[in-house]
Amino acid sequence: MPLLLAVVLVVLTACSGPFPQSALAPRSDFSTSLDHLFTNIFWWAVVVFLIVEALLLYAIGRYRARAGAAAPKPAHGHTALEIGWTLAPALILVFIAVPTMRTIFETAGNAPEGALRVEVIGHQWWWEYRYPTLGIGAANELHVPLRTPVQLEMTSADVIHSFWVPRLAGKRDLIQGRINRIEFSADSTGEYWGQCAEFCGASHANMRLRVVVQVDTAFQAWVDRQRAGPAAPAKGSPAELGQQVFRRSACIACHTITGISQGKVGPDLSHVGGRGTIAGALFPNNTETLRRWIMNAPALKPGALMTPQNLSPQDLDAVIAYLQSLK
């Protein structure tokens, strides 16, 4: 049967990992609750599916018209059956509804005392983070400590976005004028992938993010680096030349580098060298990707507000060296 074929093909394919954005490999309390709930309902659904399809297949096999067979027995209905097959689904739904309501209240997003607060502001098409209690900010790459409750307080600077890191949390929307909350506690270190999950315009597909879960010491080290000013380039180095190019280019209109520029349109670049990805977690952070991005961002990310930069090859190299030095 075609459905069987599709399922088999899919299951075979599914067996090949890895799936960095999978909702079925939870690594936090929040995503684990969701996964448990889904698994519960999924198996009920499988049971109902098998029963219904079995009945259907039996009926169409057993009751094919045969030549010379008597006319079918008249049957207009059967009250007991009707009651039965109304109550049975209702009962199954109770088994689904109770854990659902429980999980709704468990995952409502309210943080316990001592949770780490992070403000998330969605932009077309990148993510801005602020840690009000730590006095630092970040962009696109969110760092959180292991096994610590984290409370995200999310809003948007423009259109509706949705913060979705499947292995750590279900999604919630970022809406201008409102604050939505996600609360989770990651139980494994690692780098987790996420993506905007509410259509937000031309480069919705390119609005991606990373969450880096670190043990306390590593997280603290990261926080200290963010708090520190941007690394000063060594005298005479290409990075120093790059800083000068940066200062006199259009970059300063949109980006902030503490002490150098105050642009607010794009992400803060004070520590961009320390990020694993660039351009809204679209590309790995290396010389080649930086070059292509700076030269023509809209070609790589349709609609991006960052205009193509007309820098000479030497200036471009220098700026790249400078940015990479800002760890």
Residue 27 vs 208, nearer CB to other proteins: 208
Residue 227, both tokens: 């708090």
Q: Select from 206, 215, 225, 232 the least CA-distant residue to 140.
A: 206
| CB of 142 vs other proteins, minimal distance in Å | 17
DSSP letter for each residue of 187-206: -S-EEEEEEE-S--STTGGG
Run of H or E residues at 153: strand 150-156
Q: What distance in Å separates the CA atoms of residue 281 and residue 195, rounded to the nearest whole number?
A: 9
| CB of 196 vs other proteins, minimal distance in Å | 7
Contact 238, 318 (CB under 8 A): yes
Residue 56, both tokens: 């259907």
Q: Is 190 left (phi over 0), alpha (psi -120 to 50) or beta?
A: left
Residue 179 vs 221, nearer CB to other proteins: 179
Q: What distance in Å separates the CA atoms of residue 205 and residue 196, rounded to the nearest whole number?
A: 8
Residue 42 vs 228, nearer CB to other proteins: 42
Residue 193 vs 219, nearer CB to other proteins: 193
| CB of 109 vs other proteins, minimal distance in Å | 8
Q: Are strands 208-214 and 161-164 parallel, antiparallel or unpaired?
A: unpaired
| CB of 149 vs other proteins, minimal distance in Å | 17
How many other CB atoms are found less than 10 A from the CB of residue 24? 12
Residue 202 vs 228, nearer CB to other proteins: 202
Q: What distance in Å separates the CA atoms of residue 308 and residue 302, rounded to the nearest whole number?
A: 12
Task: Name the 3-class secondary structure at 277.
Answer: strand
Q: Is 135 left (phi over 0), alpha (psi -120 to 50) or beta?
A: left
| CB of 96 vs other proteins, minimal distance in Å | 6
| CB of 187 vs other proteins, minimal distance in Å | 17
| CB of 133 vs other proteins, minimal distance in Å | 22
Residue 196 vs 320, nearer CB to other proteins: 196
Residue 86 vs 314, nearer CB to other proteins: 86
Q: What angle do CA 36, 40, 44 make, to 5 degrees?
A: 165
DSSP class of 110: P
| CB of 194 vs other proteins, minimal distance in Å | 8
Residue 11 vs 312, nearer CB to other proteins: 11
